[in-house]
Amino acid sequence: MCDEIVFLAEQDEFRFITICEDNTIHLAWDRFTMYLSPQELLSLDQTLDRSVAGFGEMVTSNATVFSQDEVGWFLLQIYDMVLRLSSDDFLLIADMVSQAAAQLPEDMPRLTNSDISVYEIRHPLSQPSAIQYSLN
Protein backbone atom coordinates (compact mmCIF):
# COMPACT_ATOMS: atom_id res chain seq x y z
CA MET A 1 0.00 0.00 0.00
CA CYS A 2 1.25 3.45 -0.88
CA ASP A 3 1.60 6.01 1.89
CA GLU A 4 3.38 8.76 -0.06
CA ILE A 5 2.19 9.60 -3.56
CA VAL A 6 3.69 12.24 -5.85
CA PHE A 7 1.85 13.37 -8.98
CA LEU A 8 4.12 13.27 -12.04
CA ALA A 9 1.47 14.31 -14.58
CA GLU A 10 -2.25 14.99 -14.47
CA GLN A 11 -4.91 15.64 -17.09
CA ASP A 12 -7.85 15.58 -14.65
CA GLU A 13 -9.03 13.66 -11.59
CA PHE A 14 -9.37 10.41 -13.59
CA ARG A 15 -6.29 10.67 -15.81
CA PHE A 16 -2.97 10.98 -14.04
CA ILE A 17 0.40 9.37 -13.36
CA THR A 18 1.83 9.12 -9.86
CA ILE A 19 4.82 7.52 -8.17
CA CYS A 20 4.78 6.17 -4.63
CA GLU A 21 7.51 5.63 -2.05
CA ASP A 22 8.43 2.19 -3.41
CA ASN A 23 8.92 3.68 -6.94
CA THR A 24 5.77 2.07 -8.32
CA ILE A 25 4.28 4.14 -11.14
CA HIS A 26 0.47 4.37 -11.14
CA LEU A 27 -0.92 5.18 -14.60
CA ALA A 28 -4.63 5.98 -14.27
CA TRP A 29 -6.77 6.50 -17.37
CA ASP A 30 -10.48 6.81 -16.63
CA ARG A 31 -11.39 3.48 -14.95
CA PHE A 32 -8.13 1.78 -15.92
CA THR A 33 -5.12 1.82 -13.58
CA MET A 34 -1.85 0.10 -14.37
CA TYR A 35 1.19 -0.30 -12.15
CA LEU A 36 4.57 0.05 -13.83
CA SER A 37 8.21 0.28 -12.86
CA PRO A 38 10.02 3.53 -13.72
CA GLN A 39 11.87 1.66 -16.49
CA GLU A 40 8.56 0.48 -17.95
CA LEU A 41 7.27 4.07 -17.94
CA LEU A 42 10.41 5.19 -19.79
CA SER A 43 9.97 2.39 -22.32
CA LEU A 44 6.32 3.38 -22.80
CA ASP A 45 7.41 7.00 -23.29
CA GLN A 46 9.88 5.99 -26.00
CA THR A 47 7.24 3.87 -27.75
CA LEU A 48 4.72 6.72 -27.65
CA ASP A 49 7.33 9.20 -28.92
CA ARG A 50 7.96 6.95 -31.92
CA SER A 51 4.19 6.51 -32.35
CA VAL A 52 3.58 10.26 -32.47
CA ALA A 53 6.35 10.62 -35.06
CA GLY A 54 4.80 7.90 -37.25
CA PHE A 55 1.18 8.64 -36.34
CA GLY A 56 -0.94 5.61 -37.25
CA GLU A 57 1.92 3.19 -37.89
CA MET A 58 2.39 0.10 -35.72
CA VAL A 59 5.19 0.59 -33.18
CA THR A 60 6.34 -2.05 -30.70
CA SER A 61 8.67 -2.41 -27.76
CA ASN A 62 8.99 -5.28 -25.31
CA ALA A 63 6.05 -4.18 -23.15
CA THR A 64 3.90 -2.14 -25.52
CA VAL A 65 2.29 -2.30 -28.92
CA PHE A 66 0.76 0.73 -30.55
CA SER A 67 -1.41 0.29 -33.64
CA GLN A 68 -4.53 1.59 -35.33
CA ASP A 69 -7.57 -0.57 -36.06
CA GLU A 70 -9.61 -0.63 -39.26
CA VAL A 71 -12.07 2.04 -38.09
CA GLY A 72 -9.44 4.49 -36.87
CA TRP A 73 -9.21 3.80 -33.13
CA PHE A 74 -5.70 3.84 -31.71
CA LEU A 75 -4.84 0.69 -29.74
CA LEU A 76 -2.26 0.99 -26.99
CA GLN A 77 -1.40 -2.41 -25.57
CA ILE A 78 0.64 -2.48 -22.37
CA TYR A 79 1.40 -6.11 -21.57
CA ASP A 80 -2.01 -7.81 -21.74
CA MET A 81 -4.20 -4.69 -21.39
CA VAL A 82 -5.39 -2.68 -24.39
CA LEU A 83 -6.64 0.89 -24.34
CA ARG A 84 -8.74 1.92 -27.32
CA LEU A 85 -8.21 5.64 -27.82
CA SER A 86 -9.46 8.39 -30.09
CA SER A 87 -6.71 10.40 -31.80
CA ASP A 88 -7.22 13.22 -29.27
CA ASP A 89 -6.99 10.83 -26.32
CA PHE A 90 -3.89 9.20 -27.81
CA LEU A 91 -2.17 12.60 -27.96
CA LEU A 92 -3.29 13.34 -24.38
CA ILE A 93 -1.91 10.09 -22.96
CA ALA A 94 1.32 10.47 -24.94
CA ASP A 95 1.75 13.98 -23.52
CA MET A 96 0.95 12.81 -20.00
CA VAL A 97 3.47 9.93 -20.20
CA SER A 98 6.11 12.30 -21.59
CA GLN A 99 5.53 14.76 -18.73
CA ALA A 100 5.72 11.97 -16.16
CA ALA A 101 8.91 10.49 -17.62
CA ALA A 102 10.54 13.93 -17.50
CA GLN A 103 9.58 14.25 -13.81
CA LEU A 104 11.30 11.03 -12.71
CA PRO A 105 14.16 11.67 -10.29
CA GLU A 106 17.56 12.11 -11.94
CA ASP A 107 19.10 9.21 -10.00
CA MET A 108 16.53 6.78 -11.41
CA PRO A 109 18.03 4.28 -13.90
CA ARG A 110 17.37 5.36 -17.50
CA LEU A 111 16.87 3.19 -20.56
CA THR A 112 18.68 3.73 -23.81
CA ASN A 113 17.45 2.48 -27.18
CA SER A 114 19.80 -0.51 -26.90
CA ASP A 115 18.34 -1.40 -23.47
CA ILE A 116 14.83 -1.71 -24.88
CA SER A 117 15.69 -4.71 -27.03
CA VAL A 118 17.06 -6.67 -24.05
CA TYR A 119 14.65 -5.41 -21.41
CA GLU A 120 13.12 -8.34 -19.53
CA ILE A 121 9.42 -8.94 -20.20
CA ARG A 122 7.29 -10.16 -17.32
CA HIS A 123 4.31 -11.14 -19.48
CA PRO A 124 4.12 -12.16 -23.13
CA LEU A 125 2.17 -9.88 -25.43
CA SER A 126 -1.14 -11.07 -26.72
CA GLN A 127 -2.34 -10.04 -30.14
CA PRO A 128 -3.86 -6.52 -30.10
CA SER A 129 -7.08 -7.86 -31.57
CA ALA A 130 -7.39 -10.57 -28.90
CA ILE A 131 -8.30 -8.23 -26.04
CA GLN A 132 -9.98 -4.87 -26.43
CA TYR A 133 -11.28 -2.54 -23.78
CA SER A 134 -13.02 0.68 -24.63
CA LEU A 135 -13.11 3.43 -22.07
CA ASN A 136 -14.97 5.91 -24.23
Total count of domains within the chain: 1
For residue 33, tell me if it sits in a domain: yes
Parent domain of 70: 1-120
Q: Is the pLDDT of residue 91 over 50?
A: yes
Beta strands in 13-58 (DSSP E): 15-20, 25-29, 32-36
Question: Please, which residues have CB within 8 angstroms of residue 45's CB and are 6 or more apart in sequence?
Answer: 97, 98, 100, 101
Q: What pLDDT digit, counting tens, does each position of 48-83 carry?
A: 887 665 555 555 555 566 677 778 788 888 878 888
81 within domain boundaries: yes
Is the pLDDT at 39 greater than 50, yes or no?
A: yes
125 is a domain residue = no
Residue 128 within a domain:
no
Residue at 136 is within a domain:
no
Please indicate, yes or no, whether the overall pTM of this predicted structure exceeds 0.95: no
